Amino acid sequence: MSDVFDVIVIGGGMAGAAAAAHLAPKVRTLVLEAEEVAGYHSTGRSAAIWILNYGPEEVRLLTAASRPFFLDPGPGFADHPLITPRPVLTLVPPGQEADFETFLATGQEVREISLDEARQLVPALRPGYARAAAIEDAFDMDVAAIHQGFLRRVRSHGGTVALDARVAGLRRSGGVWEVRSVGGAIARAARVVNAAGAWGDEVARLAGLPPLGLTPKRRTGVIIDPSPHQVADWPMVQDVVQSWYCRPEARTRLMVSPADATPMPPSDVQPDELDIAIGIDRMQQALDIEVRRIERAWAGLRTFTPDGHLAIGAEPGAEGFFWCVGQGGYGIQTAPAAGALTAALVLGEAPDAALLPALPFLDPARFRRAPAAA
């Protein structure tokens, strides 16, 4: 393998894979992934839901811009649909009425429904839990098919995906980044993309650059057997402030989450017993479902920048260094548009016009400006 590329993408999760899939058709692209399996960290641990009315403004733009790709990714990307309809039922317990007003006023494609209609959708809904309800269109995503499709696209365009290749050193020399992996292999490229998820600040430090201030936050998922309820056609269910949610999993099971967001150092994070118990308790306050045992539990990291917006774009003053981090809880549903945008910025091409209003929110330079004088 040649060690000279045009772009080196650090991190082979969804963010890096999507960016590389848009780069590889145009330039020599190398993806360096620390783990033996790409998708081992956040990408393999998501709830796999696409929701339009979720996250800050630029996330909604990226989510909307990604929908056409999910519906039609083009020939050869996957042999079955990447997304399938799964509405979201939002319940309004006492105390969340004001949040619900805002949700209805700002949400797109959201429709208030009666509690009788809500109970038809989810017969386990306890009388008295909710004061109101709303339904919106959303999708289940096949995360593995999306991720593997992107990586396949990298390879089919002559790009290289190197696994078990943790980046341990980065330095700029003679107008080129030298990227050293654990084990000593060195690859060179004029441009690098930092798509290392929770480790984004660590990769910046390796390059001698200041961190953005990323905070990885743990979120837990639990699989239960909800029988005798037949849940396959249930919507995802949440409260307005998202203090818990659940959704059908593999037709007969239910995934439950306490929607926890506990700051953690970057790591192979594991679930905490208390979070599991909180998730089950909150779900059971809303739904009459007996939980006989936990079939599986996991946790993953949702990584946020200090202002909660993603960071996509160039590091000011460090030529050829680009960020694609801070995907929070939206990194799958935004990946097609975020990957295309990252590639456009790296290649100096014009971004999709629909995303222009998102650029000021995304620009990493916002973290480098001196605070305005009081």
Ligand X SMILES: Cc1cc2nc3c(=O)[nH]c(=O)nc-3n(C[C@H](O)[C@H](O)[C@H](O)COP(=O)(O)OP(=O)(O)OC[C@H]3O[C@@H](n4cnc5c(N)ncnc54)[C@H](O)[C@@H]3O)c2cc1C
Which residues of this protein are in contact with ligand X, per CB under 6 A?
Answer: 10-16, 32-35, 40-43, 45-49, 166-167, 195-199, 203, 219, 221, 300-302, 327-333
Which residue is associated with the tokens 């919507």?
A: 235
Give whichever of 45 and 253 is closer to ligand X, judged by the CB atom.
45
Query: Shortest approach of ligand X to residue 101 CB, angstroms?
Result: 25
Query: Shortest approach of ligand X to residue 141 CB, angstroms?
Result: 7
Query: Shortest approach of ligand X to residue 35 CB, angstroms?
Result: 4
Give whichever of 327 and 342 is closer to ligand X, judged by the CB atom.
327
Query: Shortest approach of ligand X to residue 114 CB, angstroms?
Result: 27
Give whichever of 131 and 188 is closer to ligand X, judged by the CB atom.
188
Give whichever of 130 and 165 is closer to ligand X, judged by the CB atom.
165
Cα separation, 4 vs 131, whole angstroms: 61
Query: Shortest approach of ligand X to residue 44 CB, angstroms?
Result: 7
Give whichever of 193 and 287 is closer to ligand X, judged by the CB atom.
193
Query: Shortest approach of ligand X to residue 94 CB, angstroms?
Result: 27
Give whichever of 93 and 216 is closer to ligand X, judged by the CB atom.
216
Cα separation, 181 vs 159, whole angstroms: 18
SS3 for the chain is CCCEEEEEEECCCHHHHHHHHHHCCCCCEEEECCCCCCCCCHHHHCCCEECCCCCCHHHHHHHHHHHHHHHCCCCCCCCCCCEEECCEEEEECCCCHHHHHHHHHHCCCEEEECHHHHHHHCCCECCCCCCEEEEECCEEECHHHHHHHHHHHHHHCCCEEECCCCEEEEEEECCEEEEEECCCCEEEEEEEEECCHHHHHHHHHHCCCCCCCCEEEEEEEEEECCCCCCCCCCCEEEECCCCCEEEEECCCEEEEECCCCEECCCCCCCCCHHHHHHHHHHHHHHECCCCCCEEEEEEEEEEECCCCCCEEEECCCCCCEEEEECCCCCCCCCHHHHHHHHHHHHHCCCCCHHHHHHHHHHCHHHHCCCCCCC
User: What contacts 12, CB < 8 A, 6 or more positions away?
Assistant: 20, 31, 32, 33, 35, 38, 39, 151, 161, 163
Query: Shortest approach of ligand X to residue 362 CB, angstroms?
Result: 14
Query: Shortest approach of ligand X to residue 364 CB, angstroms?
Result: 15
Query: Shortest approach of ligand X to residue 282 CB, angstroms?
Result: 15
Give whichever of 129 and 361 is closer to ligand X, judged by the CB atom.
361
Give whichever of 16 and 93 is closer to ligand X, judged by the CB atom.
16
Give whichever of 42 and 90 is closer to ligand X, judged by the CB atom.
42
